Amino acid sequence: MRNGYIIFSLIILTMVWCASSLAEVQYNGSISVGQEYNDNVNETSNAKGDFTTIVSPVFNANYVGGRVRGSIVYSGDLRLFDSGQRQNEMLNNLEAQGAVDLVEKVLVVDVSDSNHMVYNNSAMGQPSPYESTNQQTNQNIVSGGITFTPNVAERTKVSLAYRASEALYDNTNDVNKLTHDVILDVLHELTPKLELGGTLTGERQDTTSGDLSRFMASAVARYTYAEGCYLYGRFGLSDTAYDIGKNTLYPIWSAGLNHTWGRTTLTLDSQGGYDNNPNTIYNSYHATYSASLTQIFQRTRITANASYSDYSGQGTPHSRDTSAGLQIGYDLTPRLTVNLSGNYVNTNSSQDNLNRLYGSAELTYALPKDFSVTGYYRHKLSDSQNVSTSRYQVNIIGIKLSKAF
């Protein structure tokens, strides 16, 4: 597993430590230790069970002072399989960022690192953190850039940026990608509630198997019609010139609505553009439409969500992904909380039609001195029309002890 995220974390922590004399560093975290039984640890039709010891650290840190800013959000799972049905593994999730104002509010240099487990085929959606990593790979995206924001006018913001990003994968069958972007962005505050603007982007993507140049142009608008309520939209075109092959022209967009009334929040979102896809040379064109509704009561939180995604593009088999989910949290007492969730995902392509059903129930009791104990049950059902993967199910039951600090 790549260690770039560890090196970057140490850099950010050092920067925060050196600057801590100027302002206070805010941080929090937790550590949990637990034991669970999984009746199908490899997620196959030939089920084999195993007990697993899990150690899970969580750490968040944030620093803002002078011209330096930095943040780290990290969580990990060390999984030790007691009977050796799977190899022991360490799963890491990291979002780290750092920025320095070379010229205050005018010239900024920033770096970031993102490290997560993802499906080898991103058309399968976002993996659950509780399932096997058989079809997943570690994705580490390192990015750095410089942004020039001249003071053009009081209500107009103009920025010119250069950014280099590299996507690295553990699996040798996946495609590492180096991307260079030059971005010109203009945003004008027409009224206190209405902003208009546009973006021009030139991109160069290099891999060991094939390169491309991509040019994107889009117009953007954002309208805030009440507190916590706004509409936004970005629409344009993306022209891709492949070093080997023909050009392609696709629409790009980002549009949505966020509306809050009382304790209810409705979010509608639609995106069209290119996604990092580990197993494709040129990434995948991804169009997605999603909706989420959240209702908060005195002791209950309910969230319902649904989405539809379409994947296509050069070197990408056409596939469609549909999902729907429901999450419920209820405070039985001030110390005792129950969380229930269910999610259905269908991935339909020319190669397979895969149905996945997830369910979980979790009961957490808060103990004195920031300790807590959690018992949980999780279920997964996978049904594929591909005879090589067939149908299987997974049942997990576990308990863990956590300490916050």
The candidate with the shortest Cα–Cα distance to 91, out of 81, 80, 76, is 76
Q: What is the pLDDT of residue 14?
A: 52
Q: What is the pLDDT of residue 388?
A: 59
Tell me the per-residue pLDDT of 132-184, one tens digit each, with 9 for 90 and over: 888 899 999 999 999 999 988 889 999 999 999 999 998 888 999 999 999 99
Tokens of 10: 């140490």
pTM of the model: 0.84
Per the DSSP assignment, residues forming a β-bridge with 341 are: 327, 360
Question: Is the pLDDT at 299 greater than 90, yes or no?
Answer: yes
Q: Where are the domains of the chain?
A: 4-404
Q: What is the pLDDT of residue 5?
A: 45
Contact 167, 276 (CB under 8 A): yes
Question: If you average pLDDT over every residue of the chain, what do you get?
Answer: 90
The candidate with the shortest Cα–Cα distance to 5, out of 59, 74, 90, is 74
Contact 305, 291 (CB under 8 A): yes
In terms of average pLDDT, the best of 9-13, 26-30, 69-73, 335-339 is: 335-339
Contact 185, 154 (CB under 8 A): no
Question: Is the pLDDT at 11 greater than 70, yes or no?
Answer: no
Residues 232-256 as b or e (16 or more Cβ within 10 Å = b): bbbebebebebeeeeebebebebbb
10 Å CB burial of residue 55 (0-12, 13-18, 19+) is: middle
* Average pLDDT, integer, range 353-378: 96
Q: What is the pLDDT of residue 20?
A: 46
Q: Which fold has domain 4-404?
A: Maltoporin; Chain A (2.40.170)
Tell me the per-residue pLDDT of 236-266, one tens digit each, with 9 for 90 and over: 999 999 988 788 999 999 999 999 988 999 9
Tokens of 203: 């991109």
Q: How far is CA 110 from CA 23, 67, 99, 147, 158, in A?
A: 20, 12, 4, 8, 18
